[in-house]
Amino acid sequence: MSAFCEGALFSVLPMGGIIFDIKRFSVHDGPGIRTTVFFKGCPLRCQWCHNPESQRVRRELMVWRERCIGCGACVSLCEQGVAVPDRVRGEGCILCGQCVDGCYAEARQMVGREMSVQEVMAEVERDIAFYDESGGGVTFSGGEPLLQPTFLYALLQACQAKEIHTAVDTCGWADWAVLDCVRPHVDLFLYDLKLIDEVAHRRWTGRSNDRILDNLRRLSAFGQRIILRVAIVPTINDDAQSVRQIGSFAAKLPGLERVDLLPYHRAGAEKYTRLARDFSLPGIRPPTKEKMAEIARVFTALGLQVKVGG
């Protein structure tokens, strides 16, 4: 472990983090039957993001209008006097969560909750029998797990102590020092790659891809097990040039295990409404099967292992 790891970053005893979901019987985020732990908060703002509730670190209110039974509990419980049954947040809401606690119909839900390492592990350990049978384990996803490095590090260590296979699903936007610390405790990286063109990347995700590409090269050079995950978003990265660029980049990574091509889907569109946010890409349709096959062929031709779908 580098001095850095033992120093500033991890000197404070880790304790907890903010999680927005723990999904058991997760079967598309790494090998076998897994439990996926979703960290809240992401440095990128990909405009096609299907988990918009994962982007901000702080908790958020989500409202499922169709579940509202009109009992009015949210209004009467709100000490700020700002809760409105069919609106996400009134002006002056302090996210105290009173309205959520009183919403028995679960029309109002708080996304994100503080959890300790022990709490997360208690949930993760429940399915050990399934991991053992299937060669599964736990996947830390998000949001961006590397954005809560001490929490992630502690969880990875806890998993390793229990011999639970670990995967980290990351966008790669982090300090190398952080990645370098967690790296030895990660059995498999699911590394997301969106675009090689820096300008386009900045435009669609809000960040440059410099360190993403750099980190990926370095991880690969260390011989980490990596599966590259590329969401194919029509009009954004499904053109021949973008595909070729990603392919060429991937082909240069030594020991890359596989490329998963994930067809863009609109499952997240309604979440934006529930969060009272605008979805900036309403017009994009999922890519066709033929298109996915065509893109897969490009990757295959470069000598890469490819799988369509996660």
Partner 1 sequence: MAMTERVARLRQQSLDAVPSISAERARLMTEFYQQSQGLCSAPVRRAWAFRYLLEHKAIYIGEGELIVGEKGNVPKATPTYPELCCHSLADLEILHSRGKIPFAVSPETRQLYADVVIPFWRGRSMRDLIFDEMADGWKAAYEAGVFTEFMEQRSPGHTVLDDKIYYMGLLDFQQKIDASLAGLDYLNDPEAYAKQEQLKAMRVAAGALIRFAKRHAEGARELARQEKDPQRKRELEKIAAVCSRVPVHAPRGFWEALQYYWFVHLGVTIELNPWDAFCPGRLDQHLYPFYERGLADGTLTRDYAEELLQCLWIKFNNQPAPPKVGVTAAESSTYTDFAQINTGGLRADGSDGVNPVTYLLLDVIEEMRLLQPSSSVQVSKKSPDRFLKRAARIIRTGFGQPAIFNADLIVQELIRQGKSVADARNGGSSGCVEVGAFGKENYNLTGYFNMPKVLEITLHNGVDPRTGRQLGLETGDPRQFASFADLFGAFVRQLNYFIEIKVRGNNVIERLYARYMPAPFLSLMIDDCIARGKDYHDGGARYNTTYIQGVGLGTVTDALTAIKYHVFDRRALSMDELLAALQGDFAGHERMRQMLLNRTPRYGNDDDYADAVMQAVFEAYYQAVDGRPNTKGGTYHVNLLPTTVHIYFGSVTGATPDGRRGGAPLSEGVSPVQGADRKGPTAVIRSVAKMDHARTGGTLLNQKFTPALLQDEDGLDKLAQLVRTYFKLDGHHVQFNVVDAATLRAAKENPERYRDLIVRVAGYSDYFCNLGEALQDEIIARTEHESF
Instruction: Point out which residues bind partner 1 (CB under 8 A).
Output: 23-29, 32-33, 66, 69, 71, 73, 104-106, 126-127, 129-130, 132-134, 260, 262-263, 265-267, 269-270, 273, 286, 309-310
Sheet of strand 137-141: strand arrangement:
113-116, 16-26, 34-39, 137-141, 165-170, 188-192, 226-232, 258-263, 306-308
Cβ closer to partner 1: 12 or 129? Answer: 129
CB of 201 to partner 1, least distance (A): 21
Which phi and psi (to 5°) does residue 215 adopt?
Answer: -60, -40
Q: Which is nearer to partner 1, 110 or 177 (CB)?
A: 110
Least distance to partner 1 from the beta carbon of 134, Å? 4
Taking the least distance from each CB to partner 1, the nearer of 67 and 252 is: 67
Nearest approach in angstroms of CB 109 to partner 1 is 11
Q: Which is nearer to partner 1, 14 or 142 (CB)?
A: 142
Task: Tell the smallest beta-carbon distance from residue 28 to partner 1 (Å).
Answer: 5
CB of 231 to partner 1, least distance (A): 8
Give the residue among 227, 235, 117, 247 at the shortest CA–CA distance from 172: 227
Q: Quote the least distance from Cβ 126 to partner 1, whole Å.
A: 6
Nearer to partner 1, 32 or 97 (CB): 32
Q: Are 205 and 45 in contact (CB under 8 A)?
A: yes
Of 244 and 266, CB closest to partner 1: 266
